[in-house]
A and B are shown apart, each in its own frame.
Chain A
């Protein structure tokens, strides 16, 4: 199985800050990576797929980059509504998720 590791596990930032979350794969997943946002008690919501393609309706402050084994999700200017847990997911070989990164607003 391909293991996905996210860092950090938790981060706290202020409104307006630039925030970056990293996702590393145990082996190459090419560009077959997605990012999701999950709020407490809710289902995950697709933000980005194919490493850098923004899903329709997702604010442009979200962006993704990377290839192979290292990927990043960036929020260019953190907003109060962005408080959530973010998950990466690879779909190169089976379908596995990272453990999640909780983003808190200071």
Chain B
């Protein structure tokens, strides 16, 4: 059973860069069947997909973040990371890492079948 665990600072100052890491156990991020995602949830709100990295290192981001997000991987640590630059109070949220299944022949993710427990990041 794959497990994901987020780590990183819980408090970030405005205009600085938010940095989080997701460590994966019980499965390899190099597997060609899955995509590795970041998703956030603003307090009391719905879920917002941020972006993903796949087993080739290809990344794709939500356009709503206006190029502020970067996802990278460390295959030696079996982990992947998120950086969001120039943060504001609007970036305060619980950040989840999650694994997505391959959406068949499309080459894109489908649904999110395994999630980390989430970590609250406050921008203040």
Contacts and interface: CB of A to CB of B under 8 A. Distances in A.
The answer to whether A and B interact is yes
Interface of A: 1, 32, 34, 36, 42-46, 49, 55, 87, 89, 91, 94-100
Interface residues of B, number: 23
B47 interface: yes
A97 B47 contact: yes
B115 interface: yes
Contact of B117 (A34, A42, A46, A55): A42
Interface of B: 37, 45-49, 62, 64, 96, 98, 100-101, 103, 108-113, 115-118
Contacts of A44: 47, 96, 112, 115
Contacts of B48: 97
B49 A97 contact: yes
A87 B48 CA distance: 11
A97 B108 CA distance: 17
A77 to B, nearest CB: 25
B46 A95 contact: no
A91 B46 contact: no
Given A32-B103, A43-B117, A87 B47 contact: yes
